[in-house]
Structure 1
């Protein structure tokens, strides 16, 4: 059983670094914009209160869809702890992010998804836009989006 709640972005750095930055130090998970007051960060906590999943939602228009109506929101720093993947944790934190957008009038939600996560996002209604590319530091990616 998990609980999803909004948390300060700094609380997610340890999990983000472990999952997304090859186990680097927590500060390696910091990204530009983390300190924006509109950033919303959600975490999934297990029964013991340990963080097992997280997602950050940043106010940022999608560069490939600049004329899309509504505000743009970028998903960043989405991570699920080892042993928790495939158990609905990612879906729960993603839904919290989508609900956040919906309560603020909707808009366009997008991300630069690792290609290994593209099917997860497709199941949540995201569509690929553009061509895949390789980020030399963290691997192959594809941009995805959906309206809320």
Structure 2
């Protein structure tokens, strides 16, 4: 199967974010602060014209890290029928390559507990203790130097 990865508008991410990350919540919960900033970009992975996965990168410095140019990876989601097939890894690698062109030094995320093995496999490390995000569950702060 051939896949195409390209930048997409933030609104296009909602059709994948909603059932995977915000099931049972209003569609408006898929709109994240900073989604429409000029420094934020969103990428989607497609098979033909069908959107199968999304990932967003938000220029955001966490006080947990000393690097000056940081981006937060957010809204990572693959449609259920295509999970565990390597699409998430393709998306993250593509996004990290874009970040390198922007001279970013670090990417970090608030990873759901269930997603930590995926991020670890892709070179991310956990820092600090687990924490709960209300209505979403246990998360870990994870990061990767670029």
Q: TM-score, normalised by structure 1?
A: 0.93
- Gaps in structure 1 of 5+ consecutive residues: none
CA distance in 2, matches of 1:134, 1:23: 18
CA distance in 2, matches of 1:80, 1:16: 8
* Pairing of 1:1-148 with structure 2 (within 5 A): 1=1, 2-47=3-48, 49-65=49-65, 67-68=66-67, 70-148=68-146
Give the alignment's Cα RMSD to 1 decimal. Answer: 1.2
Give the Å deviation of 1:126: 0.6
Contact 1:57 1:74 in 2 (8 A): yes
Give the Å deviation of 1:63: 2.4
CA distance in 2, matches of 1:75, 1:113: 9
Contact 2:131 2:139 in 1 (8 A): yes
Q: How many residues align structurally?
A: 145
CA distance in 1, matches of 2:145, 2:30: 27
Secondary structure of the residue aligned to 2:34 is coil
Contact 2:73 2:107 in 1 (8 A): yes
Give the Å deviation of 1:25: 4.2
Give the Å deviation of 1:106: 3.0
CA distance in 2, matches of 1:5, 1:61: 25
Give the Å deviation of 1:114: 0.3
Give the Å deviation of 1:113: 0.3
**Residue-by-residue CA offset, 1:87-121 (whole Å, 9 max, x unaligned):** 11101111111011111113110000001110111
Secondary structure of the residue aligned to 2:81 is coil
